[in-house]
Amino acid sequence: MSAPSVENVVIVGTGCAGLTAAIYTGRANLSPLVLEGPLPGGQLTTTSEVENFPGFPEGVDGFQLMDNLRKQATKFGTRFEQALVTSVDFTSFPRKLIAGDRTILAKTVIIATGASPRMTGIPGEKELYGGKGVTTCATCDGAFYRKMDVAVIGGGDSAAEEALFLTRFASKVYLVHRRDALRASKIMADRATSHPKIQCVWDSVPVAVEGVKEGAVSGLRVKHVKTNAESVLPVKGIFVAIGHVPNTGPFAPALDTDEGGYFKPAQGSQIQTKIPGVYVAGDCADHVYRQAITAAGMGCAAAIEAERWLAEHHS
């Protein structure tokens, strides 16, 4: 049985970071191999319209944007394979990625596995997620709720930031939190609780998203944790802001991660890991911006660094 071939570049993930890296490494004639996981195209494929990606003044459908990136990457020689990486061995060269009973060998690796928003799991949330009223990104979708009432679920800095951002568009923002005070930093908490458009719904947890039969959010049912009394907030949009879970598990033993599970690049870099020739890009390494355009930028940078590393060490 012949030994498996060694790839110049293996890119794990097909969101904006991964596909941008594929475009750049493909144009460099490196014939990149992209490994697709369970959600080809990443989170943007669940977004009905993207208004803030440069070059699309009328907005662009999220699925269409990712399909365009994939076609562009394919045009430059990118190959795609369905494979879920379960573990890696970066202690020797070439680097090894294990996907089930298969081992993939690579000279350079770009990890762009993204992050998954942490959801509440309440009834109606999944059914109305993505263009139907339930979302996880105010920056992405806030403008769709002009002069409407919306709810934000959460109590940390992210929830406070989401609520404050939504006041630019929404008539009223309910901020639903299970405790009687926000966990957010004092400055963010003070801004949120003092804003005239934000109404804090204290000591309350979400119970269900209303509007499943109609196919669009019509309200958020909440329960008061001290009295068990339930009520419905009459909102058209629900923003879940209880954090993200970076998809870094299979790589975490080999690469450094922070307390939230996000990759920690080598000092002085956003993309270089402690392993030479191994890079990270996008939401798996970025818990600050989490935007399509910043992910694409990181994917571009990782691709250029991988190309340079290959030229210096394996030309």
Q: Where are the alpha helices (DSSP H) in the chain?
A: 16-27, 62-75, 138-141, 157-166, 186-194, 292-313
Binned average pLDDT, 10 residues per bin, the chain of 315 residues: 81 96 98 88 71 90 92 97 95 95 96 92 94 89 95 93 95 97 93 97 98 97 97 97 91 92 92 97 91 95 98 83
DSSP-assigned letter for residue 251: G
User: What's the gap between Cα 29 and its chain centre?
Assistant: 29
Residue 298 burial (C-beta neighbours within 10 Å; 0-12, 13-18, 19+):
buried
Predicted local confidence at residue 1, as pLDDT:
47
Predicted local confidence at residue 51, as pLDDT:
81
Query: Are 22 and 11 spatial neighbours (Cβ–Cβ below 8 Å)?
Result: yes
Predicted local confidence at residue 140, as pLDDT:
81
Backbone phi and psi for residue 2, each to the nearest 5 degrees, phi listed first = -75, 150
Segment holding 116, helix H or strand E: strand 115-117
Predicted local confidence at residue 37, as pLDDT:
81
CB atoms within 10 A of CB 226: 10
User: What's the gap between Cα 104 and its chain centre?
Assistant: 25
CB atoms within 10 A of CB 229: 10
176, 182, 186, 189: CA torsion to nearest 10: 10
Query: Are 11 and 32 spatial neighbours (Cβ–Cβ below 8 Å)?
Result: yes
pTM of the model: 0.78
CB atoms within 10 A of CB 220: 31
The vertex-17 CA angle with 45 and 247, nearest 5°, equals: 75
Query: Are 66 and 42 spatial neighbours (Cβ–Cβ below 8 Å)?
Result: yes
Q: Which neighbouring-strand residues pair with 200? A: 175
Predicted local confidence at residue 46, as pLDDT:
62
Which residues neighbour 58 within 8 Å (Cβ) at sequence distance 6 or greater? Answer: none
The residues assigned a catalytic role are: 137, 140-141
The vertex-150 CA angle with 210 and 196, nearest 5°, equals: 145
Say whether 210 sits in a helix, a strand or coil: strand
